[in-house]
């Protein structure tokens, strides 16, 4: 069972590019920047852990899950785009998690939207499903894919963990400004996901293969 270094490198780099750890920092700061340091540190490892779990599930049974539910990749992209658009609107209007008071009953932003769909989004899920499909049953390739997934999430964890010094520099006013910028960028990403979803439906069902 030789370890497939090429598959490992391709999987890790692909996921890192899709999840974009540096690009997640402003969104992370806008969502948890006003929380306690303990909350921020907890969110920094919880979000990648949730993403790792979701992506691992789809790596093992992604095609079976989507097939059973009769859900296509374009449909997954469209749903992810709509969810991200809602989060973007919350950040732009100041009604998101970053401005809500803390409470024990509050939704954990490390789960949604950080863990999914920002990290474990349609792009990352689709990339993993494709990678597993191209492994052709080779054990070494499967191990390499798993190692690549773990490596990508370690990079994300380190990026979020070291966002703490940035928070100390920006202060509350800087975080508020960052939330508006992050909301605008998220809205653009959401629109792009929905556009990709529409093109996918046209290609799949419009005879444009």
Q: What is the DSSP string of 5-54?
A: HHHHHHHHHHHHHHH-HHHHHHHHHHHHTTS-HHHHHHHHHHHHHHHHHH
- Name the pLDDT band for 68 (thresholds 50, 70, 90): very high
In a domain, 100, yes or no: no
Please tell me the pTM assigned to this model: 0.76
Query: Pseudo-torsion of CA 85, 89, 92, 94, nearest 10°?
Result: -140
- In angstroms, the CA 155 to CA 60 distance is 22
In a domain, 132, yes or no: yes
Q: What is the pLDDT of residue 49?
A: 96
In a domain, 26, yes or no: no
Tens digits of per-residue pLDDT, 24-54? 888 898 888 888 889 999 999 999 999 999 9
In a domain, 149, yes or no: yes
* Phi-psi region at 109: left, alpha or beta (left = phi > 0; alpha = psi -120 to 50): alpha
Q: What is the total count of domains within the chain?
A: 1
In a domain, 177, yes or no: yes
In a domain, 82, yes or no: yes
In a domain, 80, yes or no: yes
- Name the pLDDT band for 104 (thresholds 50, 70, 90): very low
- Name the pLDDT band for 95 (thresholds 50, 70, 90): low
- In angstroms, the CA 142 to CA 34 distance is 41
Tens digits of per-residue pLDDT, 150-194? 999 999 999 999 887 877 777 777 777 877 887 788 788 888 888
- Residue 118 vs residue 106, higher pLDDT: 118
In a domain, 207, yes or no: no
- State the residue range of the domain holding 52: 5-19+37-94+108-201
């Amino acid at each position: 069972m030789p370890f497939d270094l090429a598959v490992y490198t391709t999987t890790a780099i692909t996921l890192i590019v899709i999840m974009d750890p540096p690009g997640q920092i402003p969104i992370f700061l806008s969502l948890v920047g006003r929380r306690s340091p303990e909350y921020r540190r907890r969110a920094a490892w919880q979000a990648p852990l949730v993403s790792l779990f979701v992506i691992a599930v789809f790596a093992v049974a992604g095609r079976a899950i989507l097939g059973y539910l009769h859900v296509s990749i374009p449909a997954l992209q469209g749903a992810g785009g709509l969810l991200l658009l809602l989060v973007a609107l919350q950040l732009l209007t100041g009604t998101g998690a970053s401005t809500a008071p803390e409470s024990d009953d509050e939704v954990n932003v490390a789960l949604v939207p950080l863990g999914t769909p920002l990290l474990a989004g349609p792009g990352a899920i689709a990339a993993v499903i494709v990678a597993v499909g191209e492994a052709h049953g080779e054990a070494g390739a499967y191990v390499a894919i798993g190692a690549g997934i773990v490596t990508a999430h370690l990079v994300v964890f380190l990026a979020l963990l070291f966002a703490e010094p940035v928070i100390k520099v920006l202060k509350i006013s800087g975080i508020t400004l960052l939330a508006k910028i992050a909301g605008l960028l998220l809205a653009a990403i959401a629109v792009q996901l929905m556009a990709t979803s529409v093109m996918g439906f046209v290609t799949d069902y419009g005879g444009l293969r």
